[in-house]
Amino acid sequence: MTTSIHTPHPVAGVHRAADHGFLHSVETGGAVDGPGMRFVFFMAGCLFRCLYCHNPDTWKLHNGRRVDVDAMLSELKPYVGFLKFAGGVTFSGGEPLMQATFVGRVMERIKADLDLHIALDTQGFLHASLDDAWFDPVDLVLLDIKHIDPVRYERLTAQPLQPTLDFAERLVQLGKPTWIRYVLVPGLTDDADDVAKMADFVSGLGKIVERVEVLPFHQMGASKWSELNMSYELTDTPTPTNEDTEAARDIFRSRGLFTA
């Protein structure tokens, strides 16, 4: 039976253990997950159910393989010499804050033992349970804000918007360099007025925002939904044209923001 992601269903809680976590997969040469070339840890588990998610196989926490801190560093160490001058390491998912205690421990070890640039790819929804010191090893936050309208945001993600906006404001207080990521989905996130409201919010965050990445929606994850026997609502949604993507970027640029 095909399941719907927006009907009531049990959701695994956050993983609080510090001595082990669940790793979905890694990418050794990520070119779109922060500056330079990145070693990307895709952590398992996510509370969001985004209609356009291209990694729905990462939603369940225990879909990943169990690892400890030493195992995570062992995965990374063969690439350290290259990463020191070419890029760094990125924690993505899923949602890495689902395993914040463990991820925090791993980041501390990476910074102390390997001294690599660390990026955190997150929607920030679970930030309120973390103290400021947790973010000390993080050199850059890739903050995914999926929509600026609360009703449409919840329709798109099955979660409320405000915690993510609160996290963005917290990053200002922390002075943490940030890249904003915005996926442009025809019919869902491409309305010019909505993009303008998003641009106004982002520009209000000030100098912490180093760039805005407007990412065109694609269908590369659609096959995973089928493999998981899940209902996929965006089968007929096209990839935005280059002109439409540039028009959205121009709105951000008009607020003095650097876009990519």
pLDDT for position 121: 98
Domain encompassing residue 128: 21-253
Total tally of structural domains belonging to the chain: 1
Residue 51 domain-assigned (yes or no)? yes
What is the residue whose two structure tokens read 């205690």? 101
Residue 221's pLDDT is 83
Q: Is 226 contained in some domain?
A: yes
pLDDT at 160: 97
In a domain, 5, yes or no: no
* Residue 189 within any structural domain of the chain: yes
> What is the reported pLDDT for 237?
96
Q: What is the pLDDT of residue 1?
A: 37
Mean pLDDT per 10-residue run, the chain (260 residues)? Answer: 37 79 96 96 96 92 93 97 96 96 98 98 96 98 98 97 98 98 97 98 98 95 90 95 98 96
* pLDDT value at residue 62: 85
Residue 6 lies in a domain: no
Residue 4 located in a structural domain: no
Per-residue model confidence (pLDDT) at position 220: 84
Contact 193, 155 (CB under 8 A): no
68 part of a folded domain: yes
Does the bond joining 94 to the residue before it have cis omega, within 30 degrees of 0? Answer: yes
Q: What region, left, alpha or beta, does residue 94 occupy, with left being phi > 0 and alpha being psi -120 to 50 degrees?
A: left
Positive or negative, the CA dihedral 166, 35, 55, 245 is positive
pLDDT of residue 79: 97
- pLDDT in the model for residue 91: 98
Q: Is residue 259 part of a domain?
A: no
The CATH number of residue 127's host domain is 3.20.20.70
